[in-house]
Homo-oligomer: A and B are copies of this chain.
Amino acid sequence: MNSYGTNFRISIFGESHGKLIGVAMDGVPAGISLSEEDFMADLNRRRSGARGTTPRKEDDIPHIVSGTFEGCTTGAPLTVVFENNNTISKDYSLFREIPRPGHADFTAQVKHNFFNDIRGGGHFSGRLTLALVAAGVVAKKILGNIRINAQITAIAGLADPSKWDAAIEGAMAEGDSVGGIIECTCTGVPAGLGEPFFNSLESEIAHLAFSIPGVRGIEFGDGFAAAAMKGSEHNDCFTDIDGHTATNGAGGINGGISNGNPIVFRIAVKPTSSISKVQHTANFITGEIEEFSVKGRHDACIALRCPVIVEAIAAIALAQHIQ
């Protein structure tokens, strides 16, 4: 289903080329100051514009259509919608004939028996992350003094930022795309948030992280490197009775529950699936393998727009537990 959460519950809806993209949020405490302006900073961080991002420009103007009154949240469901304006009318039937490699064209039509909206990927479009970012803005407000910061730590396998532009442009020149790694740090998280087992903070964050289209992996603290460490290296010894630790190999979480140290996790974002470079893939009508090239407006590196989305899902996950 397209909802998540218990204490702070979000439901998203919309399609890439439909009328509205939106998110309905339940469990927002009453009395939080909130205006449409408050969404702009994060929405702008998600917008295209930088090199490597799609030339499709949407206004992405948020409309609060329920849940506020006189500038504050009311405690009733808070709903934010966005209109889709900059859609280009074209024939998308090719997506049925040749499902795009790396996309959900094939799986969506299997699941929904060819009734899925194929225009721009329909409901499976990355454009739905608008709704996640909007929910993240609200979640951050709920979290108060907790600070969440995500940034890119690698593009195309390169950790050195000075090399990223060249890597992206090189890929673009070939009609190809590149991936990236994003690291997110949450500071000011009080100890005691989360649950053992099924609602561990890692479970909640990972659940939402894999809701972001294109995420291939997530790791906390030492992450995959921990598997090659010894216990004496990976363990975080306490340095005081407040729970501060000398290292942070666990990423701020023990037994599913925050320990007061920064929560740190990294996610791997795949290279954009839509590439103009020729691929050889099946035509589902003829059964033949054909040369295929994705036309249209696309990001060469979707990871560039992801940090604010990653912050959003971290905030949404924490907001389940803060209240």
With A66-B20, A255-B108, A282-B241 known to touch, is A227 a contact of B157 (CB < 8 Å)? yes
- Interface residue ranges of A1-51 to B (CB < 8 Å): 1-4, 6, 9, 11-15, 18-22, 24, 26-27, 30-31
Please determine whether B268 and A224 come into contact, CB atoms closer than 8 angstroms: yes
Please determine whether A124 and B255 come into contact, CB atoms closer than 8 angstroms: yes
Docked CA distance A74–B16 (Å): 13
Contact string against B for A residues 228-246, beta-carbon threshold 8 Å, 1 for contact and 0 otherwise: 1111111111111101010
Please determine whether B254 and A107 come into contact, CB atoms closer than 8 angstroms: yes
Closest to A99 in B: B238
CB neighbours of A274 from chain B (8 A): 231
The reply to whether the CB of A151 lies closer than 8 angstroms to some CB of chain B is no
A293 CB, min distance to chain B CBs, angstroms:
11
With A217-B224, A231-B177 known to touch, is A243 a contact of B27 (CB < 8 Å)? no
Please determine whether B227 and A77 come into contact, CB atoms closer than 8 angstroms: no
Q: Which among B81, B230, B243, B245 is the interface contact of A110 at CB below 8 angstroms?
A: B243
Closest to A68 in B: B117
Docked CA distance A75–B250 (Å): 23
Closest to A241 in B: B284
- By a beta-carbon cutoff of 8 Å, the part of chain A in contact with chain B is 1-4, 6, 9, 11-15, 18-22, 24, 26-27, 30-31, 63-67, 69, 72-79, 81, 99, 101-104, 106-108, 110-113, 115-119, 122-124, 128, 154, 156-157, 171, 174, 176-181, 191-192, 194-200, 202-204, 206-211, 213, 215-241, 243, 245, 249-251, 253-259, 268-275, 277, 279-282, 284, 287, 289, 292, 303
Can you show 8 pairs from A to B with CB atoms below 8 A apart? A1-B26, A1-B195, A18-B65, A75-B115, A107-B255, A123-B196, A124-B196, A217-B219
